[in-house]
Amino acid sequence: MTTTVQPPAMPEPIEAPLTDERIVPALIDGQSVYLPCPAWCSIDHVRDNQKFLEDVWHSGPFSDLEVPRRDNTPGLMAYARIGMDPFSRDERMRRPFIFVEDGNSSEGSYMDAEHAETFADNLVAFAEKIRSMGRALKAVTA
């Protein structure tokens, strides 16, 4: 029996400038309101129904890093998204940031653009090491 593992679907690229926004409907404690929302935000603010306006947050689509396993059930190692917390007391959270988390802990990493470049370089170097390990393993197990 042959099992084919499909790579995860690539998230849609964010094409609109991060500064573009629109006015969207939202529910705040069950009350209908309209609020500005970045064009890249994929949250349905009606379904999200936050208790307080200050809890409204914006998020772009999630990009997942999955790890294949021997039993063909890929595991989520990490995900990343663009986010913004418009009512945060922290000025850095009120503008777009990149958030990376492993999905298992309550803490993640907030990154600005320069951090994302460094992180991407680290991922490429990591991927090259994994590929090299795989080739070495293949040479032994072939």
Residues that bind Zn ion (CB under 5 A): 37, 41, 43, 58
Q: How far is the CB of 51 from Zn ion (least distance, A)?
A: 17
Distance CA 68, CA 75 (A): 7
Pick between residue 25 and residue 68 the one whose CB is nearest to Zn ion. Answer: 25
- First-residue to last-residue Cα distance in the chain: 19
CB of 108 to Zn ion, least distance (A): 19
Q: Residue 16 Cβ, how far from Zn ion at the closest point, in Å?
A: 13
**Closer residue to Zn ion in complex, CB, 50/74:** 50
Q: Dihedrals φ, ψ of 16, to 5°?
A: -75, 150
Number of separate helices (H) and strands (E) present in the chain: 2, 7
Kindly state the smallest distance separating residue 96's Cβ from Zn ion, in Å.
11
CB of 2 or CB of 31, closer to Zn ion: 31
Give the nearer residue to Zn ion in terms of CB position, either 15 or 114: 15
Q: State whether the Cα torsion 13-15-17-23 is positive or negative.
A: negative
